[in-house]
Amino acid sequence: MNIYVQANKNTAGDGSFEAPFNTIEEARDYIKNTDEEDITVNIRGGRYFIKNTIRFTKDDKPAVYKAYNDEKVIFDGGIILDNSLAKKITDNSIKERIIEEKIRDEVYELDLSGYDIELAEYGIRGFRRMHIPSANELFINSKPQKVSEYPKEKKFIPMNKVIEGGNDLINGHDFNLKKPIIGYVIERGDKWAKAKDAYITGYLCVGYADDTIKIEKIDTKNRTLTLSTCSRFSIKEDTETKWKILNLLEEISEPGEYYIDIENKKLYFYPPQDIDMSSAFLQLSVLDTPMISFIGAKNIKFQGIVFENSRGSGVYIGGGESVNIDNCTFRNLGMIAVQVGQGTSIVPEEKTTGHGEYLEGFEPIPQHEMIGDWHGYLYAYAAWDGNGGRDHLISNCDMYDLGSGGVLLGGGNRKKLIPANNTVYNCHITRINRLDVASKSAVNIWGVGNKVSHCDMHDLSGTCIYIHGNDHIIEYNKIHDVVKTITDGAAIYLGRDPSEVGNVIKHNFIYNIKNPHSYDLYGYTAIYFDDHAIYNEVYGNYFYDIVQRGPFFFSTIHWNGGGGTSVANNIFIDCYPGMDPNTYDNSYEVMHNTDFQNGDIFIKRVSSKDENDLSGVDVTSDIWKEKYPYLYDTYMNDFVQETRNYNNFVCCGQYQNFVDENPSNLNFKLRKDSYMFFKYARVHDRIKGYDGEKVYFKDIDFYSIGLVNDKRALLRYGL
């Protein structure tokens, strides 16, 4: 059965081709009350303004909602601004606030008071902070513009004067708010006195933790900035700490920058130089909830839709099964593209450490259609399954120019090791850290038995895939040009929970990982097993051009305690260094000794026997003992499983022995006569009970890695 929807028709319809429905909700409600099956909702081309979340529940019947005949269907979570109302600033008192005199006559002003919208603050955000909707953002000709800042782009001001560092919430657990105060020495700062919505952003404590905090007071006499709340750590003067100021009229100086004066409801912007303002398409994001929500829904598919111009996320999926988001584009959103599994309610920033500890009375509540303190809550309740449902599929999608990450992929019961089989497949994900950097990844995966497969993920500020949980599969992905601004980070990260075992990272191509902070104390890596992560597998991957410098080298696969990983059949080309199994500390001690950092947390994560206690799992239960006998043996008997490292090939500059082309062409297909096929390793493996078995190197089909050869891949890569 075919049903039709057409935007802006403004007449009542019955869903037929000749008289289509006006909205998706009308089609949904019609389907709910029909006995027909195999229903397709054909969405005609046009722009559908989403003012409130479109919701599907367990009461909604299976159906396919798709763009009709590949017509361009856009779900828009904001408004279109009248470009004819944008005029160059004439008020000299406003002009004079702009520091760069030469561009004062090029900045436009647009009055927003005539639009029925509520303007939102820029918002506090960063490492281990709440995941919140963006402020209202400006897009011109479908491209995100930049909130004004100083210095520009990747430049920062050194943190050279800290008067009050504020609380150390993560390590000090101090909830008595001390507002940080820092000093500045640049004369330019004396012209910021009238800025009332300015924020400080940067790395205020360590190189892996970004912060964006509102400035409460700018004292130009004493040259100090008082912040509205504390960082997650105490702010300090260090080689890694640096900052910039943003969101102020004074610092508009480059094409594409803008500032919104909330109090006076005015938008100020310096348009890109190639823009003709008479025909410019101006959008402002408004909606702060997901555009579409599925709670308990089953067997519903959305296909061929563009989701754009929203302060929130594109799609939320909670519970249910077999929801498929296919061949959709997610762009210009303030949060993420797709969320599978619950988040939590919002907690005031100074009432949580960010590591799962809350001031009494402020603990968040799991909640649908929110992200909130998802990461902090999961830190406290490592067995929380988030009600992610099962067999959901995000496939063939483009995700780019997003504010705070790509996909949150949850589901699966860790107590009982029940897999969810939720999957991100054949998706292209890039430029998803416009607002949040470090831990807002292309995919944050958690729960049990989920998968990221055949994706191309690149140009990210921080981590690409952040793993929590068990038995996830990360396979056939291209990951490159990531971890571009943080230190002590990785393309793929897993850590701080010895029960998160059984994850497999196989047949990926990870390459071109470098960043400007490589001379800082801590480095960056391709795969990071941090803080006693054990018993996972890295098999059959290609690593290329991952180079470390500075005082503390991170190897291409890096351990920080733990060990017990299987690392086999991988190829390292021009990576310095390749592997350095830094597996100090004893896993048994970590799981039993409260003297370790956060020792109580580690103990709870492996020994929470009560089924209702979500602090962790019970690795001695029958289910866990049968699935992971080596983990049981480690916990009970202090069994030490060394990292199984065999049949890995490290090559620096000598490519002709195994590939036909220079790797700079990014073609690593192995020659059939490559010498590695004739070598073997003798494997000593106490887990599987054999000693000295010959294991030959297995061919890796290089061309099978990355996006599958659909039309989009052919066009994008010229294959």
Q: What is the pLDDT of residues 346-371, one digit of tens each?
A: 999 888 988 888 999 999 999 999 99
Question: Cα(314)–Cα(110) distance, rounded to whole angstroms?
Answer: 27
Statement: residue 209 has pLDDT above 70: yes
Q: What is the pLDDT of residues 30-49, one digit of tens each?
A: 999 998 999 999 999 999 99
Inter-residue contact 73 to 304 (CB < 8 Å): yes
Nearest to 430 by CA among 448, 406, 409: 406
Could you tell me which residues come within 8 angstroms of residue 63 by beta carbon, excluding any fewer than 6 positions away?
31, 39, 40, 41, 300, 301
Statement: residue 565 has pLDDT above 60: yes
Average pLDDT (505-518) is 85
Statement: residue 464 has pLDDT above 80: yes
**Confidence band for 716, pLDDT divided at 50, 70 and 90:** very low
What is the CB neighbour count within 10 angstroms for residue 678?
A: 9
Inter-residue contact 3 to 30 (CB < 8 Å): yes
The least confident of 17-21, 150-154, 248-252, 338-342 is 150-154
**Torsion sign across C-alpha atoms 21, 23, 24, 28:** negative
Give the percent of the chain with pLDDT over 70.
92
**Confidence band for 9, pLDDT divided at 50, 70 and 90:** confident
Statement: residue 712 has pLDDT above 70: no
In this structure, what token pair is assigned to residue 138? 């400006």
Residue of 47 and 672 predicted with greater confidence:
47
Name the average pLDDT for the chain: 91
Residue of 612 and 524 predicted with greater confidence:
612
Nearest to 480 by CA among 511, 441, 508: 511
Question: Cα(433)–Cα(407) distance, rounded to whole angstroms?
Answer: 12
The string over 625-641, giving b where at least 16 C-beta atoms fall within 10 Å of a residue's C-beta and e elsewhere, is bebbebbbbbbeeebeb
Statement: residue 715 has pLDDT above 60: no
Statement: residue 596 has pLDDT above 70: no
Q: What is the pLDDT of residues 420-452, one digit of tens each?
A: 999 999 999 999 999 998 889 999 999 999 999
Residue of 662 and 481 predicted with greater confidence:
481
**Confidence band for 573, pLDDT divided at 50, 70 and 90:** confident
**Per-residue confidence (pLDDT) for residue 83, from 0 to 100:** 95
Statement: residue 690 has pLDDT above 60: no
Statement: residue 519 has pLDDT above 60: no
Where is 630: in which H helix or E strand?
helix 629-637
Residue of 68 and 573 predicted with greater confidence:
68
**Confidence band for 714, pLDDT divided at 50, 70 and 90:** very low
* pTM for this predicted structure: 0.95
In this structure, what token pair is assigned to residue 403? 């504010």
Give the angle subtended at the CA of 456 by the CAs of 451 and 457, to the nearest 5°: 90
Question: Cα(47)–Cα(39) distance, rounded to whole angstroms?
Answer: 23
Average pLDDT (362-381) is 95
Average pLDDT (518-526) is 70
Q: What is the pLDDT of residues 263-316, one digit of tens each?
A: 999 999 999 998 999 999 999 999 999 999 999 999 999 999 999 999 999 999
**Per-residue confidence (pLDDT) for residue 304, from 0 to 100:** 98
**Confidence band for 603, pLDDT divided at 50, 70 and 90:** very high
Statement: residue 718 has pLDDT above 50: no
**Per-residue confidence (pLDDT) for residue 711, from 0 to 100:** 53
What is the CB neighbour count within 10 angstroms for residue 52?
A: 9
Distances 621 to 417, 418, 618 between C-alpha atoms, Å: 11, 14, 6
